[in-house]
Structure 1
Amino acid sequence: MMDWANRSLNALAAIAVVVAAIVYGSAGPAQAAPDDLSAALADRPSHVATNWIGVAAVGYDVVAFFTKGEALKGDKDITATHDGAIYRFVSTDNRDLFLKDPAALAPQFGGYGAMGVRMGKKLRPERSPAWQVADEKLFLFIDEDTKAMWNETAERNEKIAHAIWDTIRNVPPKMLLAPATN
C-alpha cells in the first residue's frame, strides 16, 4: 500500500512540474528539474513580466512592434538582456537597434498588461498579447478587451498607471493578487 502511495505522489509531482512548465511558457518538461524551476522562478525580476526562464514580452521582438507594426516571435538564439530580462529578436539588426536604447523600446510597465497596472495589478500577457505603439511607447495588454478599455481614456489611464507603477514596480506580482487582510 505504501509503495502505491509513493508512486502516486511521484506521479503527481511530475504532473505539477509539467503543468508549471507549460503555464510559464517552456518548450516542455525536460528543460528543468523541480529544483531548477524553483531557482528560475525566484530569480525572475519582479519589475519585468517574464516567463519562468526569464524571457520578456512573451518572446516577441519588441523592435518589430515599432519597425514592422507586427507582433513577431523572436528567435531564441538572437537575444539581449536588459533590466534583468531576456529579450528575443527576429534579426541581429533588431537586437542591435534595441541595445542602442533599450529603455525606449522595452514595453511600458515592464511588459505587464497596461490596464492591469492601471488597476494596481501585475498581470503578465500570455501567448499573443494585444499591443499598441502610442507616442513612441509600446504597451502590452492581456487581451483586446483590456486594450479597448485602456483606449476609452488612454491619456488618463496612462497617467494613473504611471503613478501606480511607481508604487508597485518592485512588488512581486503574487502580492498584488492576494486579497487584502484587516
Structure 2
Amino acid sequence: MHNLTSHILATTAESRARQKNQTPRVIWLTGLSGSGKSTIANALEQRLTATGHHTYLLDGDNVRLGLCKDLGFSDQDREENIRRVSEVARLFVDAGLIVITSFISPFEKDRVLARSVIGDKAFVEVHIDTPLAECERRDPKGLYHKARQGQIKQFTGIDSPYEVPRHPHVSVMTMNQTVEAGVQSIIDHIERP
C-alpha cells in the first residue's frame, strides 16, 4: 500500500457529468428485507432512464452473487459488503452516473462509512420504511420464516438489529405510499435546486 499513488487522469468527473447532462449521485435505499427496496429501486431506475438519465443499479442480492460472494452475514462481513459497494458506487459517480443502491445496510456506522466514501454532496439516503410485521407478512423469499425456525442466524430484524436512519433525506412509507409515489418523492428530492 505504501507504493501506491493515484494516476491523474485528463478526463475529470465534472466533464463526465457534463457529457451526461446530469448531477451524479448515489441514491442509497436502506430498509428491512421485504420492505420494497428492490421494487422501488427498479421503478426509480426505469423512470430515470426513461427521462434520459444515465444510471446503474446495485442490488444486494446481485452483488452477493459476484463482487461479495466470498462474504457471509456476520457483522464484520456486512461491514465489508457495504465498504465494497460504497467504493464501486463512488467510481460510478466519478463516471458521471446516477447510482441506485438497494441494501439492507442495517447499521448506522456502515451507512456513515458509505457516505464518507461516496461524499456528502453525492450521497442521498432513502429509508424504505416498512414495519417488521409487514415485511414478515410479505416474506417474498421465505427468509423470515427460515429465521424464525432458526435456519438462518443473524437475520436483520429477528436476531440482528436494524438501526433506523435518524435523518434520511427521504422516507418512503410503503404502508401508505404507492411505489409510484415513493419514486416521485425521491425524484422530487434529487431535482431540488
Shorter-chain TM-score: what band?
A: under 0.3
Q: What's the TM-score once normalised by structure 2's chain length?
A: 0.24
More helix by share: 1
